Every structure is written in C-alpha cells, then in structure tokens.
Amino acid sequence: MDFMKEYEKWLASPALSPEEHAELEAIRNDPKEIESRFYGPLEFGTAGLRGTMYTGLHNMNVHVIRWATQGFADVIAAEGEEGKRRGVAICMDCRNHSMDFARAAAEVCAGNGIHVRIFESLRPTPELSFAVREYHCQAGINVTASHNPKEYNGYKVYWEDGAQLPPRHADAIARRLAEIDIFRDIRTMPYEEAVQAGLVEVLGAETDEKFLANVMAQVNDYETVAKVADTFKLVYTPFHGTGHKLIPEALRRLGIRHLVCVPEQMVIDGNFPTVVSPNPENPEGFYLAVDIAKREGADFILGSDPDADRVGIMVRTKDGEFKVISGNQTGVLLLDYLIGAMKRAGKLPEKATALKTIVTTEMARKVAEVNGLQCFDTFTGFKFMAEKKDQLERAGAGKVIFSYEESYGYMMGDYVRDKDAVTASLILTEMAAWYAAQGKTLADALEELFEKYGHYAEHTYNLVMPGLDGLRDMAELMKSLREAPPAEISGVKVAVRKDYQDGTAVDTATGEKSAMELSGSNVLRFEMADGTSVIVRPSGTEPKIKVYVLTQGKDAADAAANLEKYGKWVDTLKK
C-alpha cells in the first residue's frame, strides 16, 4: 500500500471531522509517522482489532470501527434473514471513546438491517459473552483493549456460541475488508432513528441479574464463608474499570461482610490516573490496595483489569507483607480447590476435565491427574478452550470444570465462553475464606501444594519490539529460530523441537518427525533434557515476542535457579 496516497485520501475525505483533519495536517512533515499510521490497515484476526487511538488506517478510530463492522455485518448477513434477526450484542469498557465506538458499530449494524442489543453503559467482557448466549444472538461486539495502556482501544468479535470469532469467520471478515472502501462502502443508520425503528434495543439491569444468577450458582460453600464472615477481610480494585459494580455485588451475595474497595480506583476513568498500567499482572498497580490491606488487617487482595475478564491476587505473608500469586499459581490453587470443594458439595461431575493453554504451567496437569481428572492443552486464547470444551462435552468425553491460561484468565460454568473475572473473583474469595477457616492464607496453601505436587516455577519474558521495525524484527526472530534452531539452551540439550505452525515434533536425537494434535499457530517449543520447556511466540495483541520458561526442581531454590539459567538465554534474543 502506498502510505502517502492513503494519507492524502484520508485528508481529502469529507467523513473526517475538523479535529481529525487538523490532526493529520499536523503530521504532514513527518513521513515516519505518516507511514506508521497508513502503511496498511490494522490486521483483523480472531481477536479482532487492537491499536492506538489516532486518526489513521492503522489506528483505532470511528472510521476503522465502521469499516470493521461493515465487514462483520456482511458475514452476519450471509447467515440469512434469521442471522440478521438474531442480531448482535454490543458491549464496551471504560476506555476513552469506547461508547462512541460501540454506538458507531450499532449504527452500521442497524444500517445493514441487523438487530442490535447494546448495553446502556460499560459492562464486563464475560457479560457480553453471556448476553450472546442468553439472547441467542448470531454474534457479539466488544469495544475494549483489555489491560493495554490508555492510548489503546480494541474491537473484539464473538460468534453465536459466545466465544471470540473462530478462524474461518475471522478470515471471511478479513477478506471482505480487503474489498470494502473505508469511506464509500459503509451503510449506517443514525442511532436514535435505529432505536425508534426497533433495530436497537438497550440492555441494562435485567441482564445484569440474569448474569449474576449464573455466577452465584457456582458457589460451593456458603457455610464456611459464613463461619469466617466476621473476621475475613478483603480489598478489591477494578483499576477504574468495568468490575466496579458486579464484582463487589457478587462478593456481598457470597456473604462477605468486610469488603473494602479502593476508592480512588472505583472511579471510572479511561486515563487510568492512579496506575502506569491497568494490568493485574503488574504488582506495582496494587500499591493503593496494599496500603489499605495493611491498614485494615486484610489478608487478601483482588484486582480485575479494565474489562473485568482477568483477575490478579495478592496475599499477606507471615512477615506482614503482601505477595503476588502468579496467574499460573492462582490457577493451580483454584483447580485444586475446585476439585475438593465440588467433591465436598457432591457437585464433581463424572469425567471431570481441566483445560489449559500450551504456555501454562505443567503443575496444572499434575494436579488434575493426581485427582483423577483429565487435562487437555489448547492454543492461547479462550476461543480455543471454548471450542475444546464444546467438543469434549458434545462427545460425552469430559465435563470441563475449569479452564485457564497463565495470564490471569479463568473460565468456569457453562454460561460464558471467555475469561471471566466476575466468577473467578467469587470463587477465589470463597477459596480464601475456606483456607482462612483453617487458619491459613493462600500463601500457606500454595506452599502446601508445592509440597504435595512438586516444586514448579514459571516465568514469562517479554521482548518488546514497537513500531513498524518491531514487526519486522519479530518476524525475523521467529524465522531464525525455525531455520537455525538451537541444539542446546543454557548448556542443556534440546530433546524435542515442536513447531505448532505445521504441527510437527522432532526428536533431536533420532531426527524422527511426528505429528501433533495442535497445529496452525506461530509458536515454537523446545523441550529440554532436564524436563524444562521453553516456548516462543509473538503476542497476538501487543508488539512483543513472549518467551515462556516452564520448569521444576527438587525444591523452590532449585526451580528458581533453573529459571535464572534459562533467562540468560532469553537475554541473548534481545540483541
């Protein structure tokens, strides 16, 4: 694409507001900036779109939203009149312009004769997944950039099962978008006119109650929570986002009496003024929560990201400080607790099954198998776990009680097909209360699990590669690791090389090649002679390569030494 030609096309378009026109005029003498905004469109994938909010083809703005929605509308219309009647559910988070983008998407859907159910205001991502299923919609749209910095926004698309779009539909939209002119080929209907015509319906408290009823049905042990309710204290932060309403409500319905919400972070604000990054994976964002927890004598802190699909926790240690529990470890705690709690409640199904991603700790598999459960791997992304869950349950081959990925995403129940911080916060709190009844914190519980199942350790390294040059660098790194794979890493031999792109595994000792169940994703895995796995993949949502080291040792110190050893190899990839 000729980026200067595209730039001039945008400048000449009457669709631009005076402010947008001025923004583009201001970069006229900056060819690198023009190229970064116009070298090509944002790539539409199974996660939809995500980018910084500027005027330009490679950015998030109302024109790109309308263009993407027109492509999506054409795919929905291909399902026939029934698909248009079933329509779409639309949701948005707290980010700047999220409501504007959501309404613009609604206007395009209505302009294409597609019925819209749009939430009256921001809602958690899992509630959008629930609404698609509850109202038998053909599809869903969620305007969110999850935990990205404030400059970003995004556009996630869902299909009728409530999961993010399967690859075949994403490919169909991408093909259609290549044919659509971003200004000429968009059909819209003014929002108020669409409401009056019955094409737009607004969702509110009634949907919240339906969703919460399903969430509360996941509770296993009200009785133990009641026993500790007078002494158990919890601090919660929504990081200025969509968890602010439903998560505290769910915890109150659980029976939590001493719930302290971080007041500064209960304020809805897309600029996230109290944190550098609204990401529960970053412990520094919890500083206000930690101060309150120390002052109030709480043992447990919860934090959900801005669209409330992911949740992180911190717990008090014996020295009175607060410790981060990683996503891998939180999932292991939850899985072990759920198995026991469901057994005690008589709710554990036959053929109980757990799902995790290929980059998630192998400790989860150990917990599942020791307790008689099946455990299956999927690619990163809850659409793949949703697909696996449906496949297993339709075939009667397993009933999935828990699905998770290392980046703080957890899915339970049958009413959502995406990460769900609302339900996860509820069960994490139930679990913390259950251990509190035994005089233990979750830090104590985790140590007991290491003693029982083995000392596992994991670390994710992020090789950030921003901008157009970064895209080239990421592609080059993956190419070089494929074409000249390491024979050893940090002095340890690579025993098996796995390439999930073509689904092949190579035994390095014999050269024997075999096929794997999973294929079609740009991921490389090196299985080491000492049992460690090193996994390399480009992020699907951010400009970085992620390197995962999954290891274990005879004790905690041994496992930590393994992480440090392999981390030195990761450092060489940055050069």
Of 77, 142, 156, nearest to 115 by C-alpha is: 77
Question: What is the three-class DSSP state of 459?
Answer: strand
146 among known catalytic residues: yes
Contact 546, 521 (CB under 8 A): no
Contact 225, 433 (CB under 8 A): yes
* DSSP string across 41-58: PPPPBTTBEEEE-SSSTT
Q: What residues does 377 pair with on adjacent strands?
A: 356
* DSSP string across 271-332: T-TT-S---TT-GGGGHHHHHHHHHHT-SEEEEE-TTSSBEEEEEE-TTS-EEEEPHHHHHH
| Measured distance CA(250)–CA(412) in Å, rounded | 15
- Cβ neighbours, 10 Å, residue 531: 14
User: Which uninterrupted H or E stretch holds 479?
Assistant: helix 467-483
User: Residues 98, 129, 146, 407: which is the catalytic one?
Assistant: 146
Contact 279, 285 (CB under 8 A): yes
| Measured distance CA(391)–CA(256) in Å, rounded | 37
Crossing angle, helix 243-254 and helix 205-216, to 10 degrees? Answer: 40
Of 528, 328, 517, 320, nearest to 408 by C-alpha is: 328
Active site residues: 146
